[in-house]
Structure 1
Amino acid sequence: MDTDKLGEAAAAAGNPPEAEKRRGVAAPGAATVFVLVALPLMLVSSYFFGDLAADAVVRLHRFKESSSSSSPAPAPADRLLGGLLSPGFDEASCLSRYEASRRWKPSPFPVSPYLVERLRRYEANHRRCGPGTARYRDAIARLRSGDADGDRGECRYVVWLPIQGLGNRMLSLVSTFLYALLTGRVVLVHEPPEMEGLFCEPFPGTSWLLPPDFPYKDGFSAASNESYVNMLKNGVVRYDGSDGGVLPPYVYFHLEQIHLRLQNHTFCEEDHRVLDRFNWMVLRSDSYFAVALFLVPAYRAELERMFPAKGSVFHHLGRYLFHPGNRAWGIVERFYDGYLAGADERLGLQVRIVPQMAVPFDVMYEQILRCTREHGLLAQVTSTSEPAGGGGARPPPPTKVKAVLVVSLKREYYDKLHGVYYTNATANGEVVAVYQPSHDADQHTEARAHNERALAEIYLLSFSDAVVTTAWSTFGYVAHALAGLRPWQLAPLDWSKMRADVACARPPSVEPCLHSPPSLVCRARQDPDPAAHLPFLRHCEDVPAGLKLFD
């Protein structure tokens, strides 16, 4: 995600993006877009574009007038997302919960009635066992005393610990929630200061936040004695139960990406039978390990019933779980209504440059242009400020106004692309307006305001009609999966040529990629490549070793 130092005060005030400041345009609301945007833009455009941009703005204004007076009212949005969401929340406390559906395109995936049933059952169990209940107080007292209660307890928990950036956190949290659905656990989310208020509570009548006095949330790593792998190695737990049934009070499940491979002994069926004996699990992951849950035969039938379309897992669970808090949602609404809502079409362009593999700007920019023009996502320019046709005649109204949303930590991509379409007419008469909400230069996951802007830009991208995303980017995965859009994914660079042979390609699935699949060396089977024989798995286009779900 890419955010400038707009700051919380600027975001709250609805300040316009940098391009609009240079044009002297104040941030508009949707209802006043003609007065606050069209009129100043017409004055400025008379110098840069002749009458072309003015005609575009007038056409948009007339369209808004006619649509509000004579056109039939648009069909109401599916506020409950096909049954995913529960009604009855206090809407003012979380404006995004029922508002996001007005801006998303309709989902390409029908919601399974069985998934809806499972979500309602989960919510009921969370209300019974969540923080503040007598059952939770009893369970935490047993945990503190070291009483493992070897039998399956009345309430069982998985505590999620965050790691890495926002995209990784959202991928791992959806995966953890899916694991909880499959195993009858209650998810408790550790919310550090940089995440406070970032998301609304997703479950009615209860909280998913881990109480601050929970004793086990710091100091964990793959080397921890409490790690399941180390417990198994040291004989603390055994597959055959010869450990005598005396268990530690909790288990730590470490699912962090290490050299593009999750640890062994994490997704074998016998391991999950052992893990199921613990009432308390502490889990930390930076990966979309939901994919790996499909590798456990014991879970597969339930997963099939919840997700007849395998490519819908993150799409449905992400829309169910994640609702930006009111501060982040305010950024979304102000920017979308002020700069994107009036366009005929919206293109999202997400550029993530990893410092360890920094692609030079000129190389990446050339690849973006190849991708967008080869696939008709952006119009060619005429290398002149005169509209197509020339001759001084008044040009016809533009065929389309396209808004391009650039999301990047760097501002150079916006500057270059904006300059091209600001000073040159397009060959097809289309007006292209380029915007970038922010550009922080570097990622600051430790800063709450940065994360709020990151979350806002994920949602702004998800409201696009088409998206171009960067290979390997978990941020991009989350945005296009929420949208239900197959992205145009920029291909990894061939470093020997300093060029990608193919600029971009569309994956067959909207699902995120599991960069680091587990090594399935199990007692019952050796499976070095599950994608070779499981029909719903493929290797990822951007990470050849990775796995993704598809239909």
Structure 2
Amino acid sequence: MASLGFSRGFQFWHLVLFLASIFGLTSDASDSGDFIKDKLLGGLLAAGFDDKSCLSRYHSVKGLSGNPSPYLISRLRKYEALHKKCGPYTESYNKTVKDLGSGHLSESPDCKYVVWISFSGLGNRILTLASAFLYALLTNRVLLVDPGVDTVDLFCEPIPDVSWFLPPDFPLTSQFHSFNQKSDHCHGKMLKNKAVTNSKVPSSVYLHLVHDYDDEDKLFFCDEEQRFLQKVPWLMMRTDNYFIPSLFLMPSFDQELGKLFPNKEKVFHFLGRDMYWEYPTVTGEVISVSQPSHEGHQQTEKQIHNQKAWAEMYLLSLTDVLVTSSWSTFGYVAQGLGGLKPWILYKPENETAPDPPCRRVKSMEPCFHAPPFYDCKAKRGTDTGALVPHVRHCEDMSWGLKLVDN
């Protein structure tokens, strides 16, 4: 494609709409059912925003695949009220931040938080942020987002009148880069050192849920550890995994998740459409695009690269038929936002093309690439992809887990 030039004032979301129109991307129908297209996406989106503050929120090309449950809608509204009560610089926030200096609780806080630490590539960040949000919803916490290098410039705020971004003066921000499995307040290390007690609750705990996490870190997915973590005001989470499938294996969350998501394969579709909207360029600079980038390799910390990647994911989500490569979080985001069940191209093994070379997936849900294989109740290893009908192994990664409809 020849280079396309745009005049000053052309906003980033306009680019997505323009490319969608010239490529003939339509959204009238899908094998997942009719798409619901209304301003608030069946109640997923909060009312009260200025339409011009985030063009993509109300000018999305594709509607919603199916109806979110009324219970999910009500819980989202309750979460928004909680976020307004406990968000940055509120009285409750300021009071809880003070406890971070002492390291221990002065009294039981009114508000508790999970802080998502910016980490990994854009596709992973989108998937993990959805995971952290669902965990916050299940545990009545407020999600605060580490802006990282470019998150503020990529996504619109999802809640009216209050920010979801961690304030720049948050006292632990400068330590985020050094948090690891050896940190004193790492949950896994605390378990190894038998430092987890109900009598002495720390003001913060670091959750290491990255792909290299060990057996102790993985105990995060056990109800017994959740009972301890529920008492901790500040949970700092670093992850590069879409860990939602393992939340569905936890008895303490089972009933609530069943009410939130009767249709198990649309968890990311609904959460993603609630949370992620492209942020327009602030300065209105000239934007030129030759074609979807094909940059060859990931450049995680470069804003322009991530803007291109985000545009490409969104463009892919607008298609009617999608083919993705194995293990691609880029593809997972596109299929989830678009409500699509893609065809997955298998990776060659020993320089031999697989037979068949591709396969249609069972559901539009992303794959959890590094799940635990542990029965918390029996305290032994188990195949976590064979415990319940709605959590199964992924088509593109035999040891991964994904949500499917019963």
Question: Normalising by the residue count of structure 1, what TM-score does the alignment of the two structures yield?
Answer: 0.65
Amino acid at match of 1:148: L
Q: Give aligned-pair identity as a percent.
A: 44
Kindly indicate whether residue 299 of structure 2 is the aligned counterpart of residue 444 of structure 1: yes
Kindly indicate whether residue 348 of structure 2 is the aligned counterpart of residue 478 of structure 1: no
Amino acid at match of 2:112: R
Q: CA deviation at 1:76?
A: 9.5
Moved over 6 A (4+): 9-15, 259-262
Partner of 2:185: 226
Partner of 1:113: 70
Q: CA deviation at 1:150?
A: 6.1
Structure showing greater radius of gyration is 1
Rounded Cα–Cα distance in structure 2 between residues aligned with 1:116 and 1:480: 22
Alignment: residue pair count: 384
After superposition, residues 33-52 of structure 1 pair within 5 angstroms as: none
Amino acid at match of 1:190: D
Rounded Cα–Cα distance in structure 2 between residues aligned with 1:96 and 1:538: 34
Partner of 1:172: 128
After superposition, residues 523-542 of structure 1 pair within 5 angstroms as: 523-542=377-396
Q: CA deviation at 1:325?
A: 0.1
Kindly indicate whether the alpha-carbon contact (under 8 Å) linking 2:36 and 2:67 is maintained by their aligned counterparts in 1: no
Partner of 1:515: 369
1:545 to 379, 399, 405: 399
Rounded Cα–Cα distance in structure 2 between residues aligned with 1:444 and 1:260: 28
Kindly indicate whether the alpha-carbon contact (under 8 Å) linking 1:511 and 1:548 is maintained by their aligned counterparts in 2: yes
Offset from partner CA, 1:221-279 (integer Å, 9 cap, x none): 122221111111112214xx3xxx12222000110012898943121110111111101
Q: Can you give the 5+ residue segments of structure 2 that lack an aligned partner in the other structure?
A: 25-34
Structure 1 residues 11 and 254: alpha-carbon distance in aligned structure 2, compared to 1, 3 A threshold:
farther
Structure 1 residues 260 and 454: alpha-carbon distance in aligned structure 2, compared to 1, 3 A threshold:
farther
Offset from partner CA, 1:347-387 (integer Å, 9 cap, x none): xxxxxxxxxxxxxxxxxxxxxxxxxxxxxxxxxxxxxxxxx
Amino acid at match of 1:487: P
Q: CA deviation at 1:508?
A: 1.0
Structure 1 residues 10 and 234: alpha-carbon distance in aligned structure 2, compared to 1, 3 A threshold:
farther
Rounded Cα–Cα distance in structure 2 between residues aligned with 1:76 and 1:515: 31
Rounded Cα–Cα distance in structure 2 between residues aligned with 1:192 and 1:529: 36
Kindly indicate whether the alpha-carbon contact (under 8 Å) linking 1:194 and 1:445 is maintained by their aligned counterparts in 2: no
Q: Secondary structure at the match of 1:264?
A: helix
Structure 1 residues 224 and 521: alpha-carbon distance in aligned structure 2, compared to 1, 3 A threshold:
farther
Partner of 2:313: 458
Rounded Cα–Cα distance in structure 1 between residues aligned with 2:225 and 2:115: 19
Offset from partner CA, 1:161-198 (integer Å, 9 cap, x none): 01110000011100000000000100000002232321
After superposition, residues 316-395 of structure 1 pair within 5 angstroms as: 316-327=270-281
Partner of 1:133: 90
Q: CA deviation at 1:526?
A: 3.1
After superposition, residues 126-525 of structure 1 pair within 5 angstroms as: 126-149=83-106, 151=108, 153-217=109-173, 218=176, 219-238=178-197, 241=198, 245-258=199-212, 263-327=217-281, 436-495=291-350, 497-525=351-379
Amino acid at match of 1:188: L
Offset from partner CA, 1:416-474 (integer Å, 9 cap, x none): xxxxxxxxxxxxxxxxxxx8332323211111111111111111111111111010000
Q: Can you give the 5+ residue segments of structure 1 that lack an aligned partner in the other structure?
A: 16-26, 38-56, 61-74, 336-434
Q: CA deviation at 1:521?
A: 4.6
Structure 1 residues 523 and 12: alpha-carbon distance in aligned structure 2, compared to 1, 3 A threshold:
farther
Rounded Cα–Cα distance in structure 2 between residues aligned with 1:442 and 1:530: 33
Kindly indicate whether the alpha-carbon contact (under 8 Å) linking 1:171 and 1:288 is maintained by their aligned counterparts in 2: yes
Kindly indicate whether residue 29 of structure 2 is the aligned counterpart of residue 91 of structure 1: no
Kindly indicate whether the alpha-carbon contact (under 8 Å) linking 1:157 and 1:188 is maintained by their aligned counterparts in 2: yes
Q: CA deviation at 1:107?
A: 3.0
435-444 vs 294-303, which deviates more? 435-444
Kindly indicate whether the alpha-carbon contact (under 8 Å) linking 2:325 and 2:331 is maintained by their aligned counterparts in 1: yes
Q: CA deviation at 1:216?
A: 1.8
Q: Secondary structure at the match of 1:197?
A: helix
Q: Secondary structure at the match of 1:317?
A: helix
Q: CA deviation at 1:500?
A: 1.8
Rounded Cα–Cα distance in structure 2 between residues aligned with 1:11 and 1:313: 39
Amino acid at match of 1:308: P
Kindly indicate whether the alpha-carbon contact (under 8 Å) linking 1:310 and 1:549 is maintained by their aligned counterparts in 2: yes
Kindly indicate whether the alpha-carbon contact (under 8 Å) linking 1:488 and 1:505 is maintained by their aligned counterparts in 2: yes
Rounded Cα–Cα distance in structure 1 between residues aligned with 2:271 and 2:160: 16
Amino acid at match of 1:436: Q
Kindly indicate whether the alpha-carbon contact (under 8 Å) linking 1:157 and 1:281 is maintained by their aligned counterparts in 2: yes
Q: CA deviation at 1:523?
A: 4.9
Rounded Cα–Cα distance in structure 2 between residues aligned with 1:139 and 1:76: 41
Kindly indicate whether the alpha-carbon contact (under 8 Å) linking 1:109 and 1:309 is maintained by their aligned counterparts in 2: no
Rounded Cα–Cα distance in structure 1 between residues aligned with 2:264 and 2:36: 28
Partner of 1:393: none
Kindly indicate whether the alpha-carbon contact (under 8 Å) linking 1:538 and 1:549 is maintained by their aligned counterparts in 2: yes
Structure 1 residues 12 and 230: alpha-carbon distance in aligned structure 2, compared to 1, 3 A threshold:
farther
Kindly indicate whether the alpha-carbon contact (under 8 Å) linking 2:207 and 2:235 is maintained by their aligned counterparts in 1: yes
Amino acid at match of 1:98: Y
Partner of 1:429: none
Question: What is the root-mean-square deviation of aligned Cα atoms in Å?
Answer: 3.0
Question: Normalising by the residue count of structure 2, what TM-score does the alignment of the two structures yield?
Answer: 0.87
Kindly indicate whether the alpha-carbon contact (under 8 Å) linking 1:148 and 1:250 is maintained by their aligned counterparts in 2: no
Kindly indicate whether the alpha-carbon contact (under 8 Å) linking 2:6 and 2:288 is maintained by their aligned counterparts in 1: no
Rounded Cα–Cα distance in structure 2 between residues aligned with 1:221 and 1:11: 46
Kindly indicate whether the alpha-carbon contact (under 8 Å) linking 1:288 and 1:514 is maintained by their aligned counterparts in 2: yes
Structure 1 residues 110 and 135: alpha-carbon distance in aligned structure 2, compared to 1, 3 A threshold:
same
Q: CA deviation at 1:287?
A: 0.4
Structure 1 residues 488 and 190: alpha-carbon distance in aligned structure 2, compared to 1, 3 A threshold:
same
